[in-house]
Amino acid sequence: MAVNMKGRNLATLHDLTLEEMQNIFSVCADLKQKYRTGEATPLLKGKTLAMIFQKPSTRTRVSFEAGMTHLGGHALYLGPNDLQLKRGETIADTARVLSRYVDGIMARVFAHQDILDLCEYSSVPVINGLSDLTHPCQVLADLFTIIEKRGELKGLKMAYMGDGNNMAHSLLVGCAKTGMHISVATPKGYEPKADIAGWARDDARPTGARVEVTTDPVTAVKDANVIYTDVWAGMGQENEHAERVKTFQPYQVNSALAAHAKKDYLFMHCLPAHRGEEVSAEIIDGPNSVVFDQAENRLHVQKAIMALLM
């Protein structure tokens, strides 16, 4: 563990240096190799992670809980009905109390401000498992997957199709920090937040990455090494689903759109996926798809994050 990250929080990728991201990837590769050969990695023996879930998840819960087990520690699932969070107790008080009991806190929340409040008042490391603004653990797993498949990030191009949501935000920053070009294509009115795009452009200056936000899916996908998409209507947007399906239809990742990318492009999706909406079945289930490698790498990259921070 070349860079000392003990005690740090992970709220957004903008908080990390390139060296720290590379350190996470290095530790992740080591932990994944040891997992596959059956070598024990009790780096967090006797330690406990509190997992706060305001919204449910398959990958986030299982990967963090299994990851803590692999590292010799224990994870506590705290769902919406298990805490007094924001009902009878402030986030500040919850953070202070949990800090007396556990060695780290992972939170999957709606409002990003909840992550920031946990970071401010907790005396143990806080990991953002997802907020409405960013999804840093997912993107670290995504970038690690690209490294596994292509050996590098710098100079490659990612095209992101769809909603300018938390995934788009974290991909913008993650690609910019690592020197990967990124083009985000969204319908007008669904662009990523301007301040997050600004973070990405700031992070791109030292690495030479190109950061583009466009409404033209073909322009974005042209010569891309990676095509990425996400659901068109996330949790809390169910009442917008029908309208979004009509608006986002030109951004569906299908064979016609993918034909503009490099022939050996990787298709990525953070899952869960809606076949026939944001992506056609022939793409997500086809030979260019690495979606289940991404899902597996959530486990290993989060183990690296926990081992480094806790």
At residue 81, the pLDDT reads 86
| pLDDT band, very low/low/confident/very high, at 141 (cuts 50, 70, 90) | very high
Let me know if 270 is a catalytic residue: yes
Q: Exactly one of 8, 14, 70, 108 is catalytic; which is it?
A: 108
pTM greater than 0.95: yes
- The domain ranges of the chain are 13-135+298-309, 138-294
**How confident is the model over 146-187, as pLDDT tens digits?**
999 999 999 999 999 999 999 999 999 999 999 999 999 999
For 140-178, give one letter per residue: b (16+ CB within 10 A) or e. Answer: bbbbbbbbeeeeebeebbbbbbbbbbbbbbbbbbbbbbb
Q: Exactly one of 14, 61, 298, 300 is catalytic; which is it?
A: 298
At residue 86, the pLDDT reads 67
**How confident is the model over 98-129, as pLDDT tens digits?**
999 999 999 999 999 999 999 999 999 999 99
Q: Exactly one of 28, 137, 175, 270 is catalytic; which is it?
A: 270
CA distance 217 to 160: 9
CA distance 309 to 78: 21
**E strands within 25-173?**
48-53, 74-78, 104-108, 126-130, 157-161
Q: Exactly one of 54, 138, 252, 302 is catalytic; which is it?
A: 138
Let me know if 260 is a catalytic residue: no
Residue 294, pLDDT > 80, answer yes
Enumerate helices (H) and strands (E) in the chain, giving the number of each: 12, 9
The fold of the 13-135+298-309 domain, in CATH, is: Rossmann fold (3.40.50)
Q: Exactly one of 8, 135, 269, 300 is catalytic; which is it?
A: 135
At residue 80, the pLDDT reads 86
Let me know if 108 is a catalytic residue: yes
At residue 109, the pLDDT reads 96
Q: Exactly one of 181, 230, 244, 294 is catalytic; which is it?
A: 230
160-to-52, 72, 197 alpha-carbon distances in Å: 29, 37, 13
Residue 1, pLDDT > 80, answer no
13-135+298-309 matches 138-294 in fold:
yes
For the CA atoms of the chain, what is the radius of gyration? 19
Check: CATH 3.40.50.1370 for 138-294?
Answer: yes
Let me know if 298 is a catalytic residue: yes
Residue 190, pLDDT > 70, answer yes
Strand partners, 158: 182, 226
